[in-house]
Structures are given as structure tokens and as C-alpha cells.
Amino acid sequence: MNLRKCEWISSRDTPPPTAFNLIPHNTTFNTSIVSVPIGDDNFKQEQMEKKSKELDTQLNNLNKLQHYQSSLLLLRHSLNISKANYFLRASFADPRHRWAFKFDNKIRSCMETIIGRPLTDSNWQQCQLPLKYGGFGLRTIGNYASASFIASVTAATPIISTIHRNTNISQWTDTQELDNAIAHYNSLTKEAHNIRSITTIPTQASLSKSISINATHTFTSNANHRTRAMLTALSTKHSSAFLQAPPNKYSRTMLDNIEFQTITRLRLSLVVSVDEKCHGGGSCEHKMDQHGDHALTCIHGKGRIARHDKVVACITNILKRAELHHRRELKIDANNNERPGDFGLKWFDDPNDLTLFDVGITHAHIANNYTNELHAEEQYYDRKNNKSLQKCIDQGISYVPLIAETTGGWHKVAIEFFNKVAKTLADKENRTEQNARKTIFQKVSVALQKANAISIWSHCR
């Protein structure tokens, strides 16, 4: 044992035994154990300042990556609060502590680099919401430090009690520190989720979920009508699949920087048009709104048709990969030039020999400020059926609309279609159905968002 690398922590009255007199005698009780600083507040802050500089270096390196889709994946999964969680579970980091404040600001700065725009406090609040609630899933010390510490203390208590049977929680942890953490947690959650006493052992995940739910409710309550409609749309299943897709140009899940910045700005309701003019084509006389909603509905230029064709091409590529034979742009009959479906094939469990699938993308949920989930999809689905269903039935053909919103959510019928394709793809490629399903939704989501980006930048200045 290298005595000089050890520490004897005790009062001055109890120095190390003579046999261990080479061990440094620490009488301040300020030390680091497995890299975690423990002791008085000044010592802990001083040590965490040093460690935060190491974290700053890693975040600076992230900015040098120069591929924003990859940068956001790394920031969300590896370099936000998860990087500091090890320290947060050992000691409550008051958000007012200088190092914690600087750490959160550095994450915000990284997000501004990725977006390419300064973020208002409201934008930053949305960034911290979970993906499934319309945010970017960036967890900060300011919001989640108390969840980390409380979960750690309550999980450690029964273990320590089995080792030291006569020890209670007040004897091995600073009760004031725990009280501060609980007060911080209660200030960030709904009253029903507040901690009144430690009678159960809450997990960090459950505590964090309560904080996220309240943050989402607070943000939504203070948002304008358009932002509420956007958040509702972004909360639908699979709408954020493109943000979870690993960038790979060969599997067609990579977004270039311009595409990625464009759609993330749209997600945050940032200004994308400043001259109030539609540049999609000379014949369009509509006024362009600052958020670019008209760009996603304009029939001129590289707009709706180009987006539709890109999504259809992605879906048929997946069908080909799953070896589901299909044909494109089929007529109802030889005497009718009408093509109600984008592709057709013999479908599972369908009595007819041919089922036509008609892809449709709607932006009505944002343009009309709908706050009912999937309301626009249902409307468009019904409209498609009213137009083509009976014509197909008359010819002994099945007809199925596959409807999505521009934000990425799909109608339940379309989800059933993709799930069936995923099962076939999983069997063919000897992979799990869950993995195949994730792959399909990510590929389709990326294709849709690529097309949205083209619509925005080709119509807005």
C-alpha cells in the first residue's frame, strides 16, 4: 500500500497510528473519494469548478464536430446532465452554485450553435422538455439536480441500515442538504407529486418524470396558440423519430446541417421568413408568415408535391427491402385515368387481390391551431376516403389512406401498415420486430423532415 496516496481523515486528537505516520493527516474532512468531493461547501465548489472545466473542454469539442444532427445526439445522450450525474448523486448541487450555473449555460450555448440562432428563455425551456412532449430532451442541473440526489439518498439508506443497524439517515447524511434538495424538487413539481416524507424509495427516473410533466404543463400553459398546436402535434407517437435516428448516409437517415437547422428552428417556432413573401413560385400571391407555415402548404415550387413524392419513395424503398412486391401509380381501370393510390400490392388478410395505398401529408394542425391530438390527420383521412374509397370498392379494390402530419405523427391506420411491414422486414433480415419498426419510422421521419426543410428554404427568405 502506498501510504502517501492515502488519507487519514480525523480530528487533530486522533492522528494516524505510528505504523502509518506517512499517511497525510486530513483534519478538515475535505477530501475526494472516487473523484467525488466531500466536505464543506467551499471545498466542494472549488473542486467542482475544476471538474467543470474538463466538461467545458468536452462541450467545446462537440462544437467542433460540425455535423449538427450528430452533435445533438451526443449532447442529449452523453453531454448534458448525464455527464455530471455521478457527482450530483453524491452531493446536492444547488442551481445557484457557480459551477452548476456555468454548466447549464454551456449546454445552452452548444444548443445555440446547433440551431444557429440565439435562444430566448422560452426557446430554452422548450429545449429542456422531453422529446415526446415537443422538446429536445436536454436535462440540466437547474431542473434535475434534486432528483439525482434524493434518489441516491433514499436508495442508499436501506443498504447502510443493513450494514450499520443502529444508524439512521440523519447520522450519515446532511439533513439540511436533503431538505434543500426536497424543497428544490417540490418547487419544480405539481403539488400531487411533492415529497412530504421519505416513506418510499423513489427512483431517479420517476422523480425526473414528475419534473418533466410539470415543466411541460407550465410551458404549454404560457404558450401562444400556434406553439400549443405545435406541441400537441409533436407529442404524437413517432413525431420525433428523426431526432433519434443515428446519422448514416447509406441508410438514408442523415440530415445535412442546413436541413437539420431548418427543421429544428421550425420545431422551436423560430422566425424563418423576414420579408413576408412566398418565393415558391411567381404565381403564388400568398403572404408568407414568419414561421414558414405557408411554405409547408404552398402548391407552388418545391412544396407539397415534392414532399409527397419523397415520402412515397422512402416507403416503397422499404417495401422493396422487405420483398413486398408492389406497383406504383396504378389506375382504377383501363378506361379511367384516375390514380387514387401511390402504390398497390396484395395486402395481408385482405380479401381483394389489390390494395391501393394513398399517402397524404397535412399541415392543417398548425395552420388552424388545432390543439386536439391527430385532429387534422382524422380530417384528412376522412377526406381521402370520401373521395376515393367507393370508386375503388366498385372495382373490387381495397383503398387505404396513409396520413401523416408535417411534424411527423402518423394516423393509426398508417402505424398499423408500418408495423405489418416491420414484421415482414424482421423475418427477412433476422432481426427483432422492435428493431425493424424503429428503423422504418426513423427512415420515414427523416425523409419527411428533409422534404419539409426543402419546402422552407425554397419558399422563405
Please write the tens of the pLDDT for every residue from 155-167: 887 787 787 777 6
Burial 278-294 (b: 16+ CB within 10 A, else e): bbbeeebeeebbebbbb
| 447 Cβ neighbours under 8 A, 6+ residues apart | 252, 310, 311, 313, 314
Between CA 406 and CA 408 the distance in angstroms is 5
Between CA 39 and CA 394 the distance in angstroms is 80
> According to the model, what pLDDT value does residue 30 have?
85
> According to the model, what pLDDT value does residue 371 have?
67
User: Which residues, given as ranges, of the chain have pLDDT below 50?
Assistant: none
- Indicate the SS3 state at residue 198: coil
> According to the model, what pLDDT value does residue 402 have?
97
- Residue 29 CB coordination number (10 Å): 12
Question: Which DSSP string do the residues of 396-438 spell out, in sequence order?
Answer: T-EEEEEEEETTS-B-HHHHHHHHHHHHHHHHHHT--HHHHHH
Please write the tens of the pLDDT for every residue from 5-64: 788 888 888 888 888 888 888 888 888 877 888 888 888 888 888 888 888 888 889 888
- Residue 261 CB coordination number (10 Å): 21
**CA 80 → CA 59, 71, 77, distances in Å?**
9, 12, 7
- Indicate the SS3 state at residue 459: helix
Sign of the Cα torsion 321, 246, 88, 38 reads positive
Between CA 399 and CA 404 the distance in angstroms is 16
> According to the model, what pLDDT value does residue 404 have?
95
| 67 Cβ neighbours under 8 A, 6+ residues apart | 247, 257
